[in-house]
Amino acid sequence: MSLFNEENTVEKKLIDAAQKCGWKYIEAKDVPRRPDEVLVEDWIRLALVKLNPIAVEEADQVIYKLRAAIASGFTSDELISANDRFRNLLFEENSYPFGENGDNINIRFFSDDPKENSYVVTNQWEFPRKSKEGGKRLDLVYLINGIPVVIGEAKTPLKPSVTWADGATDILNYQKSIPEMFVTNILTFASEGKELQYGGVGCPVDKWGPWYADEQRLHGTLADVEHNYVHLMTPERLLDIYRFYTVFSGTSSGSKIKIVCRYQQYLGGEAIVQRVLGTYRKGKGPRKGLIWHFQGSGKSWLMVFAAQKLRRQNELKAPTVIIVDDRIDLEDQITGDFTRAEIPNVDSITSKEELEKKIKQRKILITTIFKFGDLDANEVIDDRDNIILLMDEAHRTQEGDLGAKMRTALPNAFFFGLTGTPINRNDHNTFACFGADEDKYGYISKYTFQNSIADGATLELDFKTVPVEMHLDEKKLQAEFDALTDQVSEDDRNQLVKRTTVEAFFTSDKRINDVCKYIVNHFREYVEPTGMKAQVVVYNRECCVKYKKALDALLGTTDQTTVVMHTAGDKADDYKEYRRTRDEEKKLLDQFRDPLSPLKFVIVTSKLLTGFDAPILQCMYLDKPMKNHTLLQAICRTNRKYNENKKCGLVVDFVGVFDDVAKSLAFDEETIKTVIKNLDEVKALIPTFVQECVDFFPGVDRTIGGWEGLQAAQQCLKEEGVKTNFARHFARLSKAWEIVSPDTCLAPYQQDYTWLAQVYQSVRPVSGGNLIWTLLGAKTIEIIHNSIDSIDIGKSLEELVIDADVIDSVLTDATKVQKKIVEIERLLKLRLGEHAGDPKYKAFAEKLDELRAKMQESLITSLEFLKELLSLAKNLLEEEKKVETPDDKRAQAKAALTELFESIKTPETPIIVEQVVNDIDNEVVKIIRQFNDAFKSVTARREVKQKLRSILWLKYKIKDNDVFEKAYQYIEMYY
């Protein structure tokens, strides 16, 4: 007899753990309920009379209303709406005429004091009880004051083919067969003793998520499950989730969904709420905090949850919560979330006048930070201490006037910043604005890129780098450029070259046409068959139009592409065709989200790079240089989950941004401590820097305005040397100010700084570069375009090695030799990078380093270096050919699997080995082909294991864990 089974391991463990956090265990047979009763009415009646000034008869009237909501004849498709209605009966529509003279009073179903509630856990709950057909048996049911609020399924930890997902599937089946049991439900969970996963009513299995008690995210053992389970199932926390951290929202198709907070949203939301309450109660403490949760992990809903709870805290005395965005489209998104969730008392601020008026209202207000920009520098519009601001995308627009005016306008408010981008060493402003001294690394809640992938909250990002090189007729270019700029100074010529080269590269018609050919071919082969769509990010507005024209010509239609861009400042009406109202743009983007719409590509340059949520978007064709926050936010448009066909977000990179992405994702907490320390040092220097600048103006009255005041200041800077020295001092002050702003420590110096900045601008020389650009920029770009010889897109190492047969024609020109060196060396590094960690290719990498060192030490000539590179490339390609082909490895895999299953075949288990092996082979290959490098992907490995379990366990009843592990090892080894 087995020592371990489902009941005496996971189920028993969960019951014991529940009793540690406040639940009382009662066997199901001892729960006083009728066979078809969901509610335990005796317990509810006791609670109602205990918590409210009502009699038993009045309590029965309340129970009748609850019973009617459960037994209203709904189908399983209507379960979410029934679940929503029931919650409203408990918290919103809970007014009854039981007061004096028939006055309405609010009935409480739960007490804020845990000691006044009844918490019961039971197991093997049958519903309907003792029915002729036989009821369904639920593993674990949790009741608060007689209302079943949580249902859990426990699975065995001993069978590798059984996971929490099997329990989740059981629960979804129960929701179809006995929906009445889930009308009162807060959430459901499942565990096999390794993972604890949960979901709301109607949530499909692939959208369930883990619950972790803290940022350590422990999992894998019974002890870890208990740690997380106790945190989730503490009764007070469950009621908190029920009331404040759950919303019901509408989808674009018109259906209703239930959204229960993810654990990171709960931890982040509670960090905000508890900081506000703690500081408010004490009258002192930090009034700010920074939340870093990665792109796509649900920051919008986190703000909804936090705002909802803050508004309902009586001790905050009807606070005002302000959601602040820095984009109109983000404001629309947040407003839409609040509206669809039917959150009460929500309003938008559309002007400075509305800001000054509505700030007095005790509501949830939504606005952009730019409304604060219209305020006067020292204007205070409300000094209440129960105003809480939640700043979305907090790493942007907080420096300078906007952040300072906002803090001046609301001097006693709380300021919380939320960012989806890893904070790095350059983010002085973000920490200055929101990082409190009490927070170890400057933030109060963190949820990383790696966390979101592991939890399944977002998808992995795959990169495909496609090099694009433009070859110029340099002699022709130089001659025409010299003729154009023969009257221009050397400095202006250098500025002109610097500014035109990049723009000429990205706006070349020939280059755009070649890139678009690649995009169309790639889209048709890899993206379109999955039903997904794409975003094309280009250099500027001119490129938006050019790309649409080129893509339309290649696609043979105009309805598969659209351009979305800002059209302000279009004085020549070049982009008139793309001007849209907010409603028109919203309808267009809804078409893009619609899988049945012919619209496949949206072409952008600066719009829709942040806040644009379209899960159907899988691929971004990136042809614009970007870095830091902007780059990371842009590529994460592709990482939203959509359906089973979408395994990852894909970025096709034409500009080589991958290194910047890797750096952006590398979060260094020790660096953050250095940043915070450095900020304090910079703050201490501000008074000295200001005084040193003011000292240039002895005797000048800085309160006098107009031309008189300005002329007096300029008189002090008449000498060129003095003016230059002042400019140097002000530049130093300006940099320090930018780093620290909008810290309140700057307030005493604000007036002097503004005066100094205005004087500096008045004596600053007009830039010759801007004038030269205006006169000669367009013509210079035209010269470069006319000098293009050819454009190479994604040229392979194989092509270059073949090209070695005609290399002699290149060797006569030193410039062409150098270009070939750069091209081949770069492709060699990329190719060797694909074999990183493979010892067979280590010697090739060492040889490349050796050649480069010899070249740098002048031990070999450029020509010899080029020949050695070509030889190395040939040898590398020959080595790659020696590696078994995929078909060879596949045959080896099938042979190894055949041997494995032949070894376990017995008369008692007469499996058809060939059939088992073919099933595994076919299904595994299907999954692997969906990924660039499947076994480096967490998602792919998980899917392969799930498919292997389903074949062995469900189809062929092979339940041996050692066999499963060996089979998976063969798959990873050979496929």
In the chain (975 residues long), the average pLDDT of successive 10-residue segments reads: 59 93 94 90 96 94 94 78 94 90 92 94 87 79 97 85 88 93 96 92 90 88 92 96 92 81 95 94 88 83 92 90 73 67 79 84 83 79 91 59 79 88 53 70 80 80 74 59 59 60 75 90 88 91 92 93 88 85 89 93 88 86 78 79 81 72 52 49 83 91 84 87 85 76 76 87 60 54 57 62 50 64 76 66 82 81 80 80 61 76 68 81 76 64 79 78 76 72
Amino acid at 859: L
CB 245 within 8 A of CB 269: yes
Nearest residue to 107 via CA among 122, 96, 117: 96
Q: How far apart are alpha carbons 968 and 948 in whole angstroms?
A: 8
Place of tokens 């096999």: 192
Identify the pLDDT of residue 473.
55
C-beta atoms surrounding 909 within 10 Å: 12
Q: How far apart are alpha carbons 758 and 9 in whole angstroms?
A: 74
Amino acid at 109: F
Q: How far apart are alpha carbons 705 and 702 in whole angstroms?
A: 8
Q: How far is CA 427 from CA 671, 679, 741, in A?
A: 11, 10, 12
CB 625 within 8 A of CB 656: no
Question: Is 199 strand, coil or helix?
Answer: strand
Q: How far apart are alpha carbons 78 and 243 in whole angstroms?
A: 21
Beta carbons within 8 Å of 279's beta carbon, 6+ residues apart: 285, 286, 287, 414
Place of tokens 């999992």: 219
Identify the pLDDT of residue 258.
93
Please, is 287 exposed, middle or buried when counting C-beta atoms within 10 Å of its C-beta (0-12, 13-18, 19+)? middle
- C-alpha angle 39/43/47, rounded to 5°? 115
Q: How far apart are alpha carbons 690 and 702 in whole angstroms?
A: 14
What phi and psi, each to the nearest 5 degrees, are found at residue 653? -105, 110
C-beta atoms surrounding 694 within 10 Å: 17
Question: Is 766 strand, coil or helix?
Answer: coil
What phi and psi, each to the nearest 5 degrees, are found at residue 25? -85, 130
pLDDT digits (tens, 9 = 90+) for 741-795: 666 778 788 888 889 988 888 877 544 445 554 555 555 556 555 655 555 676 6
For residue 361, give both structure tokens.
């209202």
Please, is 903 exposed, middle or buried when counting C-beta atoms within 10 Å of its C-beta (0-12, 13-18, 19+)? exposed
Amino acid at 299: K
Alpha carbon 146 to its chain's center: 40
Cis peptide upstream of residue 97 (ω within 30 degrees of 0): no
Q: Give the residue ranges of DSSP H helices in 575-705.
A: 582-593, 628-635, 658-665, 669-694
Amino acid at 76: S
CB 496 within 8 A of CB 773: yes
Beta carbons within 8 Å of 718's beta carbon, 6+ residues apart: none
